[in-house]
Amino acid sequence: FHLVLLDNGRTATLADEVGRQALRCIRCSACLNVCPVYERAGGHAYGSPYPGPIGAILSPQLRGLQSEVDASLPFASTLCGACYEVCPVAIDIPEVLVHLREQAVESGGHHAERAVMKAATWLLDHPAALGAAERVAAKTRALHPRRLPVGPAKAWTDTRDLPELPAEPFRDWWKKKTSDRETS
C-alpha cells in the first residue's frame, strides 16, 4: 500500500509569512468582480487556473516564479486596493502582489520590462521626441498590426487585439481645438 500526498505548493506558501494569507481564500470572486484589470481582461486571460487577483497571488506561490507566466502575474494589477476592500476574509492582495513582485525581480527576470521602462522614461522626459513619435505612429497607423506575430507581447495579443492608433496625436488635436476656440 502506497499513499502519496500532494500539496501542490501549499506547504511552501504556508511557510511564506506574507503570502500565506492567500490560502484563506474561499473562492467567492469578490476580488475578480471589482478589479479594474480583470474587469477588462477577464479572469483566465493570464494563464492562471484561479481567476482574478487571487489567481495573481496564488498561482505564482503554488507553481513558483520560474515560468514567464507565473512571474508576470503579480504585475497584472494596478494595486488600487479594491480587492482588499471587498475580500470577506481580509486577504491583503496588494501586499502579497508587492511581495511577489519583489521576489520576481530578485530572481533576475523582467529584463525586457526594465529596458522598456527606461525607454519610456526617456521618451516621456523629452516632450519633443514624444510628439515626434506620436506623429510617426499616427502617419504609419495602417502598418501597425492588431496582433503581434513575434516578441514578448505575442502571447498577450493572442487573446486580445491591440487598440487602434488614432488618426492624429492628442497634442495636435488639442492644439487645433484650442486655436479654433481662440479664433471664434
Q: Compute the C-alpha angle 64/65/66, nearest 5°.
A: 95
Q: Compute the C-alpha angle 7/9/15, nearest 5°.
A: 105
pLDDT in tens, 37-73: 888 877 666 677 888 899 889 989 988 888 888 888 8
Other beta carbons within 10 angstroms of residue 146's beta carbon come to 10
CB 27 within 8 A of CB 55: no
Parse the chain into domains and list their residue ranges.
Answer: 10-106, 111-183
pLDDT in tens, 113-162: 677 778 999 999 999 999 999 889 888 887 877 777 777 677 777 777 77
**Domain 10-106 is classified in which CATH homologous superfamily?**
Alpha-helical ferredoxin (1.10.1060.10)
Other beta carbons within 10 angstroms of residue 171's beta carbon come to 13
Residue found by looking up cell 507566466 in the block: 69
pTM: 0.59
